[in-house]
Amino acid sequence: MTKEKITIFSLLLISVLSFFAFGLFHLAKFETTDEHLWKYGRIEQYWQAVSSQDWEKTYINDKPGVTVALVSGFGLLTHPDAEKKQMIPVAGSLFEKYDISQTESVNFAFRLPILIFSSLSLFLFFWLAYKAFKSYWIALLTIILIALNPILVGMSQIINPDSFFWIFGGLSALAYLALLNTKQKKFLILCGILTGLALLSKYTAFMLFLFYGLAAISKIIFQKPEDASKTDWKLLSALTLEIVIIFLISIGIFSVLLPAVFIKPEYLFKGISQFLNAKSVIALFVLAALAGIFTTYKKNLVGKFSSAIASKRHLASGIVCLAFLLLLIISLANVWTGQNLAPVDALRDAAYANEPKEFNFKPLISKETNVVIKNTELFIMEAYPFIFSIKPFFFIFILFLTIKSFSKKVSDESAAIIFPILSFSLLYFISTIFAGIVTNVRYSILLYPLFAILGAITISEISKNFQIKKEKVFLIASILLLLISSYTLWSLRPFYFSYANIFLPNEFSIHDSWGHGSYEAAQYLNSLPDAKNKVIWSNSDTVCRFFEGKCLRSRKINLDIVIPDYFVISKRGELKLSNRFILNNNPSPEKDSEYYFEKLKSAFEWQLLIDGREDNYIKILKFEKNEN
């Protein structure tokens, strides 16, 4: 093994170990919303359904999240009855009380397999990246950008389908790029398997087929016109057939591991229908048929068309880079002017406050709102969490790629990667508007490994501008990324998932608490005298799982029966008016729920601003007892 390879593999190992070490820190000492549904229900249901051959019950969630059960299910080996042991019996039905040691033990048992699996997957990322780009250095840079991404480290600590979607989605994309680069059938099969596992994580993985299509088109147009002219309908048919085979393999994997589809096929079609309805499927078939007839009728039309586009390939990549650059600039201008262009935080808060009505932004947006203004604001809103959770140097990378693309100085090999990633990202944001989904960082999770690939390719292009050897540029870039990213993770610990870049002013946040900070709030309460006899109300039971005292079950608090000591409230708790506590038989009517939520602004007893952001908090208020 050469000295260069030893260096590369050493840095690879450091990256993987860093990912695991940062992920291991604080692994059991937090609770996110809805995790209990997986730990104490869905995972066990899947394995019980398999063991009893009750196939219909293998459908455990509408994500469908089967990969969570497959990997995190190892926790059942040590905690087969986790749900029964989580609670400490208390008299009456007013309270709930959790066994703290059991909470942490269960969290560790169900999360550790996810973290280990995520860490090991980085080696597969490296191998596929090497096969896709024929460069160990580009593969290494891809892994560093993935392994030390705060969002991905944080996601790998959580029992959630998105913890696997980024893995299998990212691996699927690399497997397809490796297929295009090598033409080896093993990557065709591997891509199908990985896509199937991505679908088992989230139905959103059907969007991967859009990426495959864009990547295939890029392979044709990003070459010299004389080479593109050799493209014929046979090549198009072969590329289309490969995507069809990937689809069939993925559906096979999906069906085998989610046998409920054999009982109710709608579980499969439900996922497809989120992105393709009957009309769009028919339209695609008609267009494909017309294209097939036309291209066979007109000799070498495909070649001529491909050659014409290839002659303008730098313009195509430049336009896509410019479109993304404009999105970055507009997003920056928006937050730096107090969100005067598009009130994205207010829109996101309104959508959450108006739930269960989906995609409802009243009173900010109504039916009377101009369509262009409405969709522009929504597009900025959808891209907002992702744009301000990528590393700052990506802003410079996009600027660099835009300039170089229009200058025709980006290699065809790089452009064939840049174009599908950026165009897919833009289409991804647009699709969320049509799907009626308000994105958050978690919903954009697939884009982070794709941008890691983009970052590695960009560094490769930047290296061409230096007089020193390319390998030295790669080495310097790798070490700098490791050091800077490690510092970021260290300073942010343990709230990796709450990362936001320096371009986002502190008064804004792309996150809400989602349970983060609950452990710290409970630790403060536990430090109080006689904590075991304290009574609290919280808008989320994530605090209760680490609290030594008792939590009120209901938001309707009868003060004739019980007097709470504290209220624990997060950003989500303040937004959702319908979930606020109600004080019945209140001897001081003026001190109602609204009174306490008004006090939340400044008269709190304790607060935690996650990542130092005012809009991402958890606070503790003391109940004012009537001394009479």
**pLDDT at site 291:** 61
Above pLDDT 90, what percent of the chain?
60
- Cα–Cα dist 39/379, whole Å: 35
> Is residue 603 predicted with pLDDT exceeding 90?
no
pLDDT in tens, 25-47: 999 999 988 888 999 989 999 99
More confident residue, 628 or 325: 325
pLDDT band at 595 (very low <50, low <70, confident <90, very high): confident
Least confident of 164-173, 418-427, 505-514: 505-514
Identify the band that residue 84 occupies on the pLDDT scale cut at 50, 70 and 90.
confident
Q: What pLDDT is stored for residue 132 in this prediction?
A: 96
Q: What is the pLDDT of residue 513?
A: 67
Q: Is the pLDDT of residue 628 over 60?
A: no
Contact 33, 544 (CB under 8 A): no
Q: Give the residue with greater pLDDT, 401 vs 592.
A: 401
Instruction: Give the model's pLDDT for residue 299.
Output: 56
Whether the predicted pLDDT of 480 surpasses 70: yes
2 C-beta neighbours (distance < 10 Å), count = 7
pLDDT tens-digit series, residues 583-593: 898 888 888 88
pTM over 0.85: yes
- Tell whether the model's pLDDT for residue 282 goes beyond 70: no
Q: Which pLDDT band, with edges at 50, 70 and 90, does 357 fall under?
A: low
The dihedral sign for the CA sequence 437, 441, 447, 451? positive
Q: What is the pLDDT of residue 245?
A: 96
Instruction: Kindly indicate the confidence band of residue 363, based on its pLDDT and cuts at 50, 70 and 90.
Output: confident
Q: What is the pLDDT of residues 499-519, one digit of tens each?
A: 999 999 998 888 876 778 899
Per-residue pLDDT band at 267 (split at 50, 70, 90) = confident
Read off the pLDDT of each residue in 543-559 and give the average, rounded to a whole number.
90
pLDDT value at residue 276: 58
Structure tokens at 522: 């409970």
pLDDT of res. 271: 62
193-197, 274-278, 486-490: which range is least confident on average?
Answer: 274-278
More confident residue, 305 or 213: 213
Query: Quick one: pLDDT at residue 62?
Result: 87
The per-residue pLDDT for 65 is: 94
**Spatial distance between the Cα atoms of 566 and 538, rounded to a whole number of angstroms:** 9
Note the pLDDT of residue 305.
Answer: 76
Q: Is beta strand 617-622 parallel, antiparallel or unpaired with respect to 556-558?
A: unpaired
Identify which has the larger pLDDT, 16 or 616: 16
Residue 359: is its pLDDT beyond 80? no
Quickly list H helices, 134-207. Answer: 136-147, 150-155, 162-182, 185-201
What is the residue-averaged pLDDT of the chain?
89
Q: Cα-flanking dihedrals φ and ψ of residue 17, to 5°? A: -65, -35
**Burial zone of 612 (CB within 10 Å; 0-12 exposed, 13-18 middle, 19+ buried):** exposed
Q: With beta carbons less than 8 A apart as the criterion, state whether 60 and 45 touch.
A: yes
